[in-house]
Amino acid sequence: MKNINIYYRKVKAAGQTIFYRESGNQGDPVILLLHGYPTSSHMFRNLIPILNTHYHVIAPDLPGFGFSTSPSREEFEYTFANLTHVMQDFIDVMKLNKFALYVFDYGAPTGFRLMLNNPGRITGFISQNGNAYLEGLGAAWDPVKKYWASNSQEDRNALRGFVKQEELRFQYFTGVNNSELIAPETYTLDQYFLDQPESDEKQLDLIGDYKNNIALYPSFQEYFRKHQLPALILWGNKDPYFLPAGAAAYQKDLPSATIRFYDTGHFALETHVTEIGEEILEFYAKIR
**Residues noted as catalytic:** 266
Residue 91: CB partners within 8 Å, gap ≥ 6?
32, 99, 114, 118, 121
Dist CA 89 CA 70 (whole Å): 17
CA dist 204 and 208 (Å) reads 6
Report the C-alpha gap between 209 and 281 in whole angstroms: 34
What distance in Å separates the CA atoms of residue 154 and residue 11, rounded to the nearest whole number? 39
Strand, coil or helix: what is 235?
A: strand
String of b and e for 56-80 (b: at least 16 CB within 10 Å)?
bbbbbbbbbbbbbbbbeeeebebbb
Contact 127, 268 (CB under 8 A): no
Q: Tell me which residue of 40, 76, 46 sits closest to 192, measured CA to CA.
A: 40
**Partners of 30 in beta bridges:** 56, 99
Find the DSSP H helices in 94-183. 107-117, 142-150, 153-157, 165-173
Q: How far is CA 205 from CA 36, 47, 49, 72, 140, in A?
A: 15, 30, 34, 12, 18
